[in-house]
A = this chain, B = another copy of it.
Amino acid sequence: MRSLKDRISAEAIVIGTDILKVDHFLNHQVDVDFLQEIGQEFYKHFQDEPITKILTVEASGIAVAVATAMFFHVPVVFAKKSVSLNLDQETYTSEVFSFTRQTSYLMKVSSRYLNRQDHVLIIDDFLANGRAVQGMIDIIHQAGASLAGVGIVIEKGFQEGGQRLREQGIKVVSLAIIDAMDENHIQFRE
């Protein structure tokens, strides 16, 4: 997605060779008009699939998932990360290691909101090592639902998550794939 790559080149802040900050339009401040373009782009790629739900994980995946779901007119289910007193007792859970936070968390989805009739599109803002997406796939399997594919805004192509998913035969659509980066340059995959 050309406009996305342009915004990343112009606005992203790279720290070292691993951290990419797009807080200006995606992860802390959200440009909702641009988000609609992103949602429409995912719709183009997955509109032929009989999608019934969009699954993401809190927190920064929610904005992208909502903007995408508006084109499909299906509900968003967001997996929860924290143990909340208000969460349903009957849940699918998957343990996920977060490299950003250097700790594991439990990803949870109530069994009320995913079932074997569902055909699920996973949407997330970033794909790096792929642990969060694998956690969501685990939960989809637990529910007996089917996976339509995975839509990612920015994939760190120099980490193994995307490759691992594609090797499993999963349709992964990343709107921008970064093959290398440092503080002076971001190299996108063509």
Contacts of A1 in B (CB 8 A): none
Contacts of A25 in B (CB 8 A): 75
Interface centre among A69, A86, A110 (most CB of B within 10 A): A86
Known: A59-B59, A76-B30, A110-B28. A86 touches B36 (CB 8 A): no
* Selected interface stretch from A77-85, A133-141, A142-150: A77-85
- Counting contact residues on chain A (CB < 8 A from B), the size range is 35 or more
Interface string of A104-138 (1 = CB under 8 A from B): 00000110110000000000000000000000000
Contacts of A80 in B (CB 8 A): 28, 59
Q: Which of B62, B67, B85 contacts A59 (CB 8 A)?
A: B62
Please state if A66 and B35 are interface contacts (CB–CB under 8 Å): yes
Copies of this polypeptide in the complex: 2
Contacts of A77 in B (CB 8 A): 28-30
Contacts of A63 in B (CB 8 A): 62-63, 66, 76, 78
- The CA of A75 and the CA of B19, in the complex, are separated in Å by 23
Please state if B110 and A75 are interface contacts (CB–CB under 8 Å): no
Please state if B76 and A32 are interface contacts (CB–CB under 8 Å): yes
Contacts of A160 in B (CB 8 A): none
Rounded to whole Å, the gap between the CB of A64 and the closest CB of chain B is: 9
Closest 4 CB pairs of A and B: A58-B59, A59-B59, A32-B69, A30-B76
A interface, CB within 8 angstroms of B: 19, 21, 23-25, 27-33, 35-36, 58-60, 62-63, 66-67, 69-70, 73-78, 80, 82, 84-88, 100-102, 109-110, 112-113
